[in-house]
Chains A and B, each alone.
Chain A
């Protein structure tokens, strides 16, 4: 028998507004109304400003470790914009911009990184899960959340974000496999930013695209320019349409770049060239959008300066508010461990210590019940 072809596949790449200002009218026309574009741009600038302010505040010792989102804003923002507000956003920690679009207040992000769990007490109405610190674990939660919606006959879907490094984790593959084989409408959105702390993308995935990882699970896959808000929105609409109509998953790779360090505890100069960073700075999603809007006549330098000034004032005021928030009380350590606190935890909470003497008077040598 002759050898036949079992499978051929191609991965499409979408780019609408490139770094030189070229705009693909055919794909991009009417994709985002101008009024929305202004709001989206405003969110990106606010997010970037929060990064800059948080960085300074961290350096002055007023905040713990903080991971900047700089350069990657368009990915989560485009996704949140394209999704319905009751679709689940299941993120790691470089999706601040999309979460801001959902209405998560700046206080929440800053409180979280200032070591205060109240930052994670997001109202369920946001349909956003808390920041997932262990890499690559949250895609399974997204799969479960979308599965629950399917079980209840709701049209809700989930979109989960992760980096190129996370695609090395076993849970990533398990999530893709569950969603694909159990028909669960999840959009797997990989923000390929080329660096997992100091480890370059080729050590995580040596295939030409990350997107093709989805092929192995039978998912439609797409690569988009992740620094192009239009391309992200275009790709997401395609993914959402697929997920809602077929009830099955979709894989998107947003090609982007981490302009900052991994976190404030990292120094990326140790492992990557400045020339590479500079090349990506020229592809900054915010600059690209500003030039486009300016060229279109709906934006100006004066408006931009005013927006940045207002954003900085908002972020600084938020920092001050977060610094002045009432210190959490020790009892708070215990209060959310279980719905109903077991007796041993009640004792630890009430006495503030774990050694037994003094917790129960009957333990004293002169207690009446001693032998």
Chain B
């Protein structure tokens, strides 16, 4: 067991799967010689060779489009898109082909690939390096969308993603790439996709979140001094609504927290499902503490934009007071 950052945990998961399965190959911009701009793939090209850790031309659609071909041929490509803001050029390949290939061919061709994407704000990055676009991909049938909130989960979820027979977008919250360390077993383990984690138990209110926001939620919960249950979704699609339902049926109140803008954010789906499944248990309207419905600001204002512990705590208190 080692005390690892999220970057190290992902690096370890990639090493272990690449050693086990020679169908796993990495490709993307700067992932090889440079080890990725966040050093997530550090040392992997040296270890596995330039044929398995490939520096590609600078073209996101090209990276995903060729990965689709690699996957259709039976490999397990792991393309990296350097920042979530650059997913745009690859959107067509992801949604028009990767997500649809199994359906289109009645299972004759499948696309078992894991797209790794650093996501979210909080690291003083330039424009289009701080967004949270998970809802676009959760809305697209045929894709799985994962976002871990810490090193332990990151390793177990990534191994599950790499072994999944369908395309997975694996969002890595860059704000916590190195901000936290956790004990991460050397030994191989998996965390199933579509299974949420109850971070802490409570009776008064449920907080649902994912990714880096989970850390802010924990701070807010501690500051509130109330008995609050925190659920980390871990996988956005398929969503473990059962765990949310059980919790909200018990607490009767829920606050959903995410970095992405509120309108049509994943929180809208969570809130709707709570309304559908826990209607008679609800003591207060479900609340959403999210990014504003604006363009993600440049970094001088990013901490005003992102839901912080104070805003989350306010949301919790307002919901409890209702």
Query: A residues bordering B, Cβ < 8 Å?
Result: 90, 117-118, 120-124, 129-130, 132, 134, 137, 139-149, 151, 158, 170-171, 174-175, 177-178, 181-182, 336-340, 342-344, 356, 360, 363, 365, 367, 369-371
Contact = CB atoms under 8 A, between A and B. Distances in A.
Contacts of B281: 370-371
A182 B276 contact: no
Interface string B82-106: 0000000100110011000111111
A134 B199 CA distance: 44
Contact of A356 (B56, B68, B194, B276): B276
Contacts of A370: 280-281
7 contacts: A117-B104, A140-B69, A144-B73, A171-B92, A174-B61, A339-B166, A363-B276
A178 B79 CA distance: 14
Contact of B57 (A147, A174, A343): A174
Nearest to B60: A174
B110 interface: yes
Given A117-B103, A134-B92, A336-B107, A178 B56 contact: yes
B70 A144 contact: yes
Contact of B68 (A118, A124, A144, A174): A144
B277 A144 contact: no
Contacts, number: 154
B67 A144 contact: yes
Contacts of B73: 144-145, 148-149
B74 A122 contact: no
B242 to A, nearest CB: 8
Nearest to A160: B69
Given A177-B59, A371-B280, 20 more contacts: A117-B104, A123-B108, A130-B101, A130-B109, A141-B66, A144-B70, A145-B72, A147-B70, A148-B75, A158-B69, A170-B59, A178-B57, A337-B103, A338-B102, A338-B142, A356-B276, A356-B277, A363-B276, A370-B281, A371-B281
A178 B66 contact: yes
A144 B106 contact: no
A122 B68 contact: no
Contact of A130 (B104, B237, B279, B280): B104
A105 to B, nearest CB: 14
Contacts of A356: 276-277
| 4 nearest CB pairs, A to B | A144-B69, A140-B65, A148-B73, A174-B62
B51 interface: yes
Given A148-B70, A181-B57, A339-B165, A365 B280 contact: yes
A120 B166 contact: no
A311 B104 CA distance: 29
A323 B238 CA distance: 37
A146 B72 CA distance: 11
Contacts of B242: 343
B54 interface: yes
Interface string B303-322: 00000000000000000000
B108 A137 contact: no
A238 to B, nearest CB: 24
A182 B96 contact: no
Given A144-B67, A182-B56, A344-B241, A360 B277 contact: yes
Contacts of B110: 339
A248 B321 CA distance: 68
B71 interface: yes
A171 B194 contact: no
Contacts of A143: 65-66, 69
Given A121-B108, A145-B73, A171 B103 contact: no
B65 A177 contact: no
A284 B292 CA distance: 61
A248 B203 CA distance: 64
A365 B54 CA distance: 58
B69 A148 contact: yes
B59 A174 contact: yes
A338 B143 CA distance: 8
Nearest to B108: A121
Interface string B18-50: 000000010000000000000000000000000
B105 A144 contact: no
Contacts of B54: 182
A338 B166 contact: yes
B27 to A, nearest CB: 9
A337 B104 CA distance: 9
B239 interface: yes
B126 interface: no
Contacts of B89: 170
Contacts of B92: 134, 137, 171
Contact of B62 (A142, A178, A344): A178
A342 B61 contact: no
Contacts of A365: 280
A171 B92 CA distance: 10
Nearest to A171: B61
A334 to B, nearest CB: 9
A125 B74 CA distance: 14
Interface in B242-267: 242, 249, 252
B225 interface: no
Nearest to B237: A342
A120 B106 contact: yes
Contact of A120 (B56, B72, B75, B105): B105
Most chain B CB neighbours (cut-off 10 Å) among A120, A134, A148, A175: A148
Contacts of B104: 117, 120, 130
B86 to A, nearest CB: 14
A182 B68 CA distance: 16
Contacts of A171: 61-62, 65, 92-93
B277 A178 contact: no
Nearest to A117: B106
Interface in B97-145: 97, 101-110, 141-142, 144
B69 A342 contact: no
A139 B69 CA distance: 9
